Structure 1
Amino acid sequence: MIRSAAVAWHRRKRTRELLLVACFLLPSLAIFFLYRLLPLGWNVLLSFQYWSPLKPATWAGLDHYEEMLLYDDVFWQALGNTAIFIAASPIAIAAALGIALLVNSDLKGAAVYRTIVFLSYPLMTVAVGIIWRWIYDERGGILNYALRSAGIVEQPVPFLQSFDWALPSVILAEIWQVLGFYMIILLTGLQSIPQHLYEVAAIDGVPRRARFWRITLPMLRPSLFLCIVVGILNSFTSFDLVYIMTNGGPGHATELLITYIYKSGFGQTKFDYAAALTVVQFALLLVLTYLANRAAGGNAGAIERD
């Protein structure tokens, strides 16, 4: 009898705890459902339809995806530009690593330099785009002024109006903005490396360069892979910077998937086609993030075994 009462009491306690947890989780789950899952599901459904705000929806099947993959040259150019953005992430990470190593040393004024480098990251992306658009300006930009003053060029370089220079120019602005964030992540990783590893290596006569390749880089792998994942995410969401600096031009030289989605939906009112583009971008983002997480997990396991 006593045992049955104890079991019933524990069940009631367990039920109350579950209800309490549910009460705390329900608002967050409701917001997640309303603003994440429901729009995602509607977007996937819309990508298989012909839809316009003024016409009833009709089934389209895979027509939008067929048009995208077989006939839409702008899609492939936007996809290629997005891939170039992703490929540029290691350049920013390598530069941030160099700066992190520098400010982590006994350099005089390292704290000041660290603050100066990090200041670019908290800036609004719109402000960064305006700043760099002024720097690249063909008539009064500081970069053209410096190049002409140094005798490197005779005529101003149309950085943002040139098919050859527009994309590298936007990528440079993107690198400048995220450089401080990468530096902080890598600096935190450097400061978490046990110093006795370097001391033992120095006693054994291991050269400084070998210490970097055998100790620093292996211990920094989690931080490096975090930076890579952030770089992938930024490459798929760099709408503000591209929109402010070039709006995807000249032509489609700086068109990204995210800007092409915006133009298809709100510029051409092809919301159904924009939904299909969004599904493709979301799938690519999932695949790349999954691969990066797998690589990071594999490297973490390798570090533990070593």
Structure 2
Amino acid sequence: MKKPFLSRKTRHLAFVWMLLLPALLVYFAYRAVPLAWNVVLSFSFWAPGKPIRFAGLYQYQELAFYDGIFWEVLKNTAIFMLVIPISIMLALALALLVDQKITGRNIYRTIIFLPYPMMVVAVGIVWRWLYNDNVGLINYALRSMGLISRPIAFLESYDFALAAVIAAAVWQILGFFMIIILTGLQNIPPHLYEAARIDGARAHHRFWRITLPLLRPSLFLCVILGVIASFTSFDLIYTMTNGGPGHATDLLITYIYKAAFTLSRFDYAAAMTVVMFVLFLALALLTNRLAGGDAGKVDISD
């Protein structure tokens, strides 16, 4: 009997790739092509209705040496990334709490998770109202406790605006991180804790020697997702402050938007987009490397 030209495994792989090809072509058309065009545009002079001209490194030189606002925005983006450690620490504490056998723990989990699926625009509007210096609940609570003598316009203050937006971002993503960490906790085999108790290990020893090391993949997954959220938090900033006052809450993503659609400097915005992509990629790869390449892996062998 004649052997088939291709092995069964090869034919199976070819069939799988044939099924995937349409989706890959669509992905390539909508992702890879715009990204490549963006890179080309960052080395060019171009405005709507005008021919494209090669500019070399001009846009990048302007970013590095002549645009002070860019560096302020970069600093804001770095500060905004405090959302990541704050959210993870709070989420870890809440996950440990709701993992206990307490009455109504499923209700608590739902309440904590509830802000995450909300529309970001709705979250921004709610928090803008909470921070309002005339009718906002935060000012009312602070005055009732005697902590302030007059209302504070949090979102109009250069000193408070970024911190106020960070608080809103933490509130929204906290529940999502809690669910990820809770999943990791529930995948830790109970017999490890039982063996540690028999050996006389106290609660804090069990946490540092068992819980935290085995939660490492889940925690690093939260870091990667937090990095993505930090670089793409356009809706929240735009709804709450539109980058103001001045550029106090502008992030890279909002400054890129303003450069492109307010100043019509699409070439300059393209250069900033390339910088943002490189920074994001570097942080994501660094995080995954620190995680040992297993960020998000929660299953462990018994």
TM-score by length of 1: 0.93
Which residue of the partner structure matches residue 275 of structure 2? 280
Change in Cα spacing, 1:199 to 1:79, as seen in structure 2 (3 Å) is same
Change in Cα spacing, 1:14 to 1:142, as seen in structure 2 (3 Å) is closer
The question of 1:134 aligning with 2:129 is answered yes
CA offsets, 1:161-213, max 9 Å, x none? 00110000000000000000000000010111111111111111111111111
Partner-residue secondary structure (3-state), 2:292: helix
Which residue of the partner structure matches residue 40 of structure 1? 35
* Residue type of the alignment partner of 1:70: F
Pick one of 11, 17, 23 that aligns with 2:18.
23
The question of 1:64 aligning with 2:59 is answered yes
Q: What is the CA-CA distance between 1:33 and the residue it aligns to?
A: 1.3
CA distance in 2, matches of 1:286, 1:41: 16
Q: What is the CA-CA distance between 1:87 and the residue it aligns to?
A: 2.9
CA offsets, 1:1-58, max 9 Å, x none? x4xxx23x34397786565334312211111111011001100000000001121111
Which residue of the partner structure matches residue 265 of structure 2? 270
Pick one of 45, 54, 58 that aligns with 2:49.
54
Partner-residue secondary structure (3-state), 1:99: helix
Which residue of the partner structure matches residue 289 of structure 1? 284
CA offsets, 1:222-265, max 9 Å, x none? 00000000110000000000000000000000010000000000
- Which runs of 5 or more structure 1 residues have no equivalent in the other structure? none
Which residue of the partner structure matches residue 99 of structure 2? 104
Change in Cα spacing, 1:16 to 1:224, as seen in structure 2 (3 Å) is closer
* Residue type of the alignment partner of 2:78: A
The question of 1:179 aligning with 2:174 is answered yes
Change in Cα spacing, 1:215 to 1:22, as seen in structure 2 (3 Å) is closer
* Residue type of the alignment partner of 2:222: C
Check the 8 A contact 2:83/2:169 in 1, yes or no: no
Indicate the larger mover: 281-290 or 102-111.
102-111
Q: What is the CA-CA distance between 1:277 and the residue it aligns to?
A: 0.4
Q: What is the CA-CA distance between 1:111 and the residue it aligns to?
A: 1.1
The question of 1:224 aligning with 2:219 is answered yes
Check the 8 A contact 2:154/2:164 in 1, yes or no: yes
CA distance in 2, matches of 1:282, 1:65: 14
Indicate the larger mover: 255-264 or 147-156.
147-156
Computed over aligned residues only, the root mean square deviation of the Cα atoms, in angstroms, reads: 1.8
CA distance in 2, matches of 1:156, 1:270: 39
Pick one of 201, 212, 215 that aligns with 2:210.
215
CA offsets, 1:97-129, max 9 Å, x none? 000000001222111111100001010100000
Pick one of 200, 204, 228 that aligns with 1:205.
200
The question of 1:244 aligning with 2:227 is answered no
Q: What is the number of equivalent residue pairs in this alignment?
A: 297
Which residue of the partner structure matches residue 108 of structure 2? 113
CA distance in 2, matches of 1:257, 1:14: 47
CA distance in 2, matches of 1:41, 1:298: 27
Check the 8 A contact 2:162/2:249 in 1, yes or no: yes
Partner-residue secondary structure (3-state), 2:116: coil
Which residue of the partner structure matches residue 79 of structure 2? 84
Larger radius of gyration: 1
* Residue type of the alignment partner of 2:227: I
Superposition misfits of 4+ residues, deviation over 2 angstroms? 9-23, 298-301
* Residue type of the alignment partner of 1:56: P
Check the 8 A contact 2:288/2:294 in 1, yes or no: no
- Which runs of 5 or more structure 2 residues have no equivalent in the other structure? none
Which residue of the partner structure matches residue 165 of structure 2? 170
